[in-house]
Amino acid sequence: MIQIEYVLSGLIAAAIMFLGARFWLAPGVASAAFGIAETPPPSTGFTAWLSVKGTRDVASGLFVILLIANGSPRLLGEFLLLASLIAFGDMATVLRSGGSKGLAFGMHGLTGLVIVAIGASLIFSAK
């Protein structure tokens, strides 16, 4: 079971690094897809803030890969439980901004729940 959880964790890491890179490479597209209402058009300052988010996402994905390579399912699971707060925080941000409830719950909230499920499964599967 732990191998499946590692694969799922790796897929989460790859997805979050892809999304983070998109905030660097295509900030307008990435910010529009995030779900915040009335997202402004890209400008130098706004693009810089989007790069901050992109860096956070890439680093988060790399942390997951590091923990997978470490071979400690419990530590990876605990990290994922804490990292799920990022997805839930993103959900709350979209909701607070009056953004799409579908994106808030369907993308950010569901991602947070999946991360919690994988993290809890890793913790319970660890020896």
Q: What would the pLDDT profile of 79-96 be if each residue is shown by its tens digit? A: 999 999 999 999 999 999
Using only the alpha carbons of the chain, give its radius of gyration: 15
What gap in Å lies between CA 77 and CA 116, rounded to an integer? 8
What distance separates the 2 farthest-apart alpha carbons in the chain?
Answer: 50
> Structural domain of residue 116, as residue ranges?
2-125
Q: In 3-state terms, the chain is what percent helix, strand and coil (to 5)?
A: 85, 0, 15
pTM for the model stands at 0.90
What gap in Å lies between CA 77 and CA 98, rounded to an integer? 32
Q: Considering its fold, how many domains does the chain have in total?
A: 1
Mean pLDDT of the chain: 94
DSSP annotation of 75 reads H
Confidence band (pLDDT; 50, 70, 90) for 69? very high
What gap in Å lies between CA 102 and CA 27, rounded to an integer? 21
